[in-house]
Structure 1
Amino acid sequence: MNRTEKEQVIGELHEKMAKAKAAIVAEPKGLDVATVTELRKKLRDSKVEYRVVKNTLAARAAKGTTLEPLAEKFVGPTAIVMSYDDVVTPAKLLVDFMKDRENFAIRTAVVEGKVIDAKGVQALAKLPGLQELRGQIAAMIAQPATKLVRMIGTPGQQLARVLGARREQLETQK
Structure 2
Amino acid sequence: MKRAEKLTVIEDLANKFTTYDCFYVVDAMGLTVAQVNKFRKSCAEQKLLYQVAKNTFIQKALERSGKGETHAPFFSKVLSGFSGILFVSEKASTPARMLKDFWVAERLHRPLLKGASIYGDLFIGPAHLEALRNLKSKVELLGDIVALLQSPMANVMAALQSGERRLMGVVETLSKASL
The amino acid across from 1:34 in the alignment is: K
| Offset from partner CA, 1:133-153 (integer Å, 9 cap, x none) | 122122223323322221111
Which structure 2 residues correspond to residues 1-174 of structure 1 after superposition, within 5 A?
1-29=1-29, 30=31, 31-42=35-46, 44=47, 48-64=48-64, 65-67=66-68, 68-69=71-72, 70-72=74-76, 73-84=78-89, 87-100=92-105, 101-118=108-125, 119-156=127-164
| Offset from partner CA, 1:120-163 (integer Å, 9 cap, x none) | 3432332333232122122223323322221111124879xxxx
TM-score (norm 2): 0.68
Partners in 1 of 2:138 and 2:99 — Cα distance?
16
Partners in 1 of 2:102 and 2:164 — Cα distance?
55
- The change in CA–CA distance for 1:149 and 1:25 in structure 2 (over 3 A counts) is same
> Is there any run of 5+ residues in structure 2 with no aligned partner, and where?
168-179
Q: What's the Cα RMSD here?
A: 3.0
The amino acid across from 1:127 in the alignment is: L
TM-score (norm 1): 0.69
Partners in 1 of 2:139 and 2:97 — Cα distance?
13
Rg larger in 1 or in 2?
A: 1
Partners in 2 of 1:114 and 1:140 — Cα distance?
26
- The change in CA–CA distance for 1:120 and 1:32 in structure 2 (over 3 A counts) is closer
Task: State the 4+ residue runs in structure 1 displaced beyond 3 angstroms.
Answer: 83-101, 111-115, 156-159
| Offset from partner CA, 1:58-99 (integer Å, 9 cap, x none) | 232222532553344333331112345654444444445445
Aligned length: 155
Whether the aligned pair in 1 keeps the contact of 2:27 and 2:84 (CA below 8 Å) is yes
Secondary structure of residue in 2 paired with 1:154: coil
Tell me the CA shift for residue 105 of structure 1. Answer: 0.5
> Is there any run of 5+ residues in structure 1 with no aligned partner, and where?
160-174
Partners in 1 of 2:103 and 2:141 — Cα distance?
24
Partners in 1 of 2:128 and 2:20 — Cα distance?
18
What is the match of residue 172 of structure 2? none
- The change in CA–CA distance for 1:77 and 1:85 in structure 2 (over 3 A counts) is same
